[in-house]
Amino acid sequence: MILPWTDHPGEFLVFRTAARRRALVLALAVLGTTSLAACTAGSGQDGDRPGTRAVADPATRPDLRRFYGQKLHWRPCGDFRCATLTVPRDYDRPGDGKTFALPVAKAATAVPGKRLGSLVLNPGGPGESGVRLLEDGVADDIGKGVRARFDIVSFDPRGVGGSKPALTCLADDRTGDEAHEAPLYPRTDAERADVLADARATAAACRRASGPLLPHVGTDDAARDMDVLRAALGERRLTYVGWSYGTSLGTSYAEQFPRRVRAMVLDGAVDPSLDWRQRVLNQSTGFRDAVEEYADSCADVVGEACPGTTPGEIRALVDRLLDRTRREPLPVDGSEEGLDAAGLVSALSLSMYTPEAQWEGLSEALRAADGGDGTKLAALAAGDEDAPDTDTDADAGPAASEGPTDDVPEDNGDAALMAVDCLDVPHPRGAQAYWDALAPADKAAGAYGTSGVTSELVCEDWPAGARRPHRVHAPGVPPVLVVGTTGDPATPYQEAVSLARQFPGGMLLSFEAPGHTGYGRDACVDEKVEEYLVSLTKVRPGTRCAP
């Protein structure tokens, strides 16, 4: 789950979106993690899915007709046009009066006479705002050939950002003495009891604040919302790009509505066949390997700014800081708590998303930490886009139904990430399964692995969803393009390989580079993706791009 080790508690993609990357590089989103997985017992439009039966086109269902038949009323909002999409809170009971009102934003870029339709984007998360994605300039970074043929559209998924109602997880009401500092590897009964108590307190705080919404914010419902959006945009078929978690949303859409896909790009892929433990091991190993790559390649990327003159010196510095912060937090300006080992792991991991934009800032922060000042690393651990040398709402309309919207922060991404991931991916009830996973995670990925396991504990005491790990089942879907970055820490490359193979006619475009996702970071990747979006040009097997 994409969030700092210290904040979450939840699903596979263990980190929050790194410094909210500008434009197309804002992917995540993963982190992993990402959400990840799978199909549901819910039904789709075309053909049978495992354990389900074919059902009628939902657009023809009388109880959904008012949603599918709605028109978007566009209004100016800065440089864009904005509207509100209304969707049922519960697709099994669409007539109960409970709805989500979702903000939609559009950059009307298509040239009259050349327009092919709308290109719908999802930036990842789960928990990232699509409206903010446009505000951050993504439309300007998409190639002119695509912009001339498509209007660029994005939206805030149910419960996220400007959604009405929106998710929130209020702080629990324990005193400072009752809260605990989380060890990277809880070994003793006392340490494990403290970690479990913190996870359960977080889950309880989310249930108090957003309990009625929690069963209704899963990826399959969000994918159904996207089909309502497709209809409201007047599109017969969907053209879509999803980064990181957006690949899970796209996969779910393709499974539920395979014959409504025109073109689909899934960049930074999540493999829906993996269970929670496999996801943790995959991603935590990815982050460990990315930090190793940072040591090896720092000089090539940032030159003299590196915190050591050789890869060995950089590794030694990281190990030294891990040992030091395990014993005692580093001082941080304006903080009584300082930077502990979990915060250090978070800072390192979050800095692996976009090496060309983040490694110089990480290098300066590590130098400062080696001198005893953890302030810059703490900023990186918090996902602060204004951290040193790192690159750094639209009105959603009136609420469509009452909901727990008081005290919702401007950015509720962490709450949404927990809610979606815990609902989407089955997690064990009872803590022993998590303790059993610690030793294998430590062997596979050290501190990254054990922190990944303990971050999942919040899902141990969370409302369960219906999704299960599965291989993609999307008969009739046209060729889907999967982009995999070979050094991707948050959505490891092997998951892109697997996902492309699971789609009938799936195509894999490999980007040989470190960092998270490829579209928007490399001219070769951009060219292949955009030829596919405009002309449906297939990518040949074995196609690779390198910076």
Which active-site residues does the annotation give? 244, 488, 516
For residue 55, the cross-strand partners are none
For residue 483, the cross-strand partners are 267, 509
* DSSP strand pairing (335-339 vs 330-332): antiparallel
* Tokens matching residue 294: 């940072």
Rounded CA separation 518/103 (Å): 27
Rounded CA separation 173/208 (Å): 11
Rounded CA separation 182/326 (Å): 10
Rounded CA separation 431/448 (Å): 19
Rounded CA separation 436/93 (Å): 40
Rounded CA separation 370/238 (Å): 51
Q: 10 Å Cβ neighbour count for 315?
A: 16
The three-state DSSP-derived secondary structure of 328-373 is CCEEECCEEEEECHHHHHHHHHHCCCCHHHHHHHHHHHHHHHHCCC
Residue 92 burial (CB < 10 Å; 0-12/13-18/19+)? exposed
**Counts of helices then strands in the chain (DSSP H, E):** 16, 12
Vertex 191, ends 190 and 192: CA angle to 5°? 90
Rounded CA separation 136/128 (Å): 12
- 3-class secondary-structure state, position 445: helix
- 3-class secondary-structure state, position 326: helix
Using CA atoms, how far residue 510 sits from 374, 491, 528, in Å, is 37, 13, 11
Task: For residue 213, give the DSSP letter.
Answer: T
* Tokens matching residue 147: 């912009």
518 in Cβ contact with 509 (< 8 Å): yes
The candidate with the shortest Cα–Cα distance to 306, out of 357, 364, 377, 353, is 364
Tell me the Cα Rg of the chain: 22
Torsion of CA 492, 459, 176, 338, to 10 degrees: 0
**Cα-Cα-Cα-Cα dihedral sign, residues 131, 137, 143, 147:** positive
Task: For residue 320, give the DSSP letter.
Answer: H
